[in-house]
Amino acid sequence: MIPNSYSSLCDDLYLDMYINTELELPTERDTILAFFERIQKQYPSMGRFYRRENNEYYLEEDRNPGQYRWASLEIDRIGSGMVNPSDFETAYNQDRLVLELVPYMLGVNHLDIDSLDVTFAMDFDYVGSHDEIIAEALLSQSAFSSLLDLPEARPIGFSPALVIALSEDDRTQGRISIESKTSVYEPKKKGRFTDESISLSFTVRQYPATDEKFEPLKSFEHQCRLAEELMAEQIVPNFVKPLTETIAQKRLT
């Protein structure tokens, strides 16, 4: 499945990569600026630099066109990603650059890496109860659905998540989560709902083995292929399509 196929199923597609570290990352001004300047040299359109609370730093392209790159430097996490990429390799090339830079510019070596994440995420626009959409799409044939048969019962807090092992040693893991943005405090009976989107996220995480040197770039390539395969064969048919079909049905009623 290619990005165009994904875009027909969701309102926004995100391809993200995160390097989670054991030690805190450098906080020196020159080091931070040099790291982002090197990324900007490769991608000159990434010109928006800013700092959030807790000394988290971000470099982004303009978000207005709907397709943009970003990179981040947090206390113990380095991020890289692209929103609505035209093809997977375009996003992966940026991630590869970050993986190549962090040992030399941020002092992150194989011992410092706690885990490496590759994430495919999707947003689905829907004005209404996100919890009801998720429950109807994913719970209709499960034991949990019996609770909804109770008088006056309706889901008001439902954001399921599951972590599975993808390797015999449990060091390769997959995590699927579907997040409702509808608050239990919203006055639903008056028809006032959040304008945020339902979010689905699928992450393939790799933990380094203890008996061999961790090779981030090699692991990244494997995780990307595995994530693509599982998205196409499991996540899209069993999670994404039921969500989109339920949303479409609700909009017609």
What are the structural domain ranges in the chain? 3-252
pLDDT in tens, 206-223: 999 999 999 999 999 999
Distance CA 52, CA 70 (A): 14
CA–CA separation, 147 vs 161, rounded Å? Answer: 19
The reported pLDDT for the residue numbered 142 is 75
Strand ranges inside the chain, DSSP E: 12-21, 48-52, 56-60, 68-73, 77-83, 113-125, 161-165, 172-179, 197-206
> Residue 186 pLDDT > 70, yes or no?
no
User: How far apart are alpha carbons 100 and 90 in whole angstroms?
Assistant: 16
Segment 96-146, tens digit of pLDDT: 999 999 999 999 999 999 999 999 999 999 988 898 898 888 987 777 777
Q: What pLDDT sits at residue 234?
A: 97
Q: What percentage of the chain exceeds 90 in pLDDT?
A: 73
pLDDT digits (tens, 9 = 90+) for 44-75: 999 999 999 888 999 999 999 999 999 999 99
Of the candidates 96, 35, 68, 79, the residue with the CA atom closest to the CA atom of residue 223 = 96
What residue type is 71 in one-letter code? A
pTM of the shown model: 0.92
Quick check: helix, strand or coil at residue 136? helix
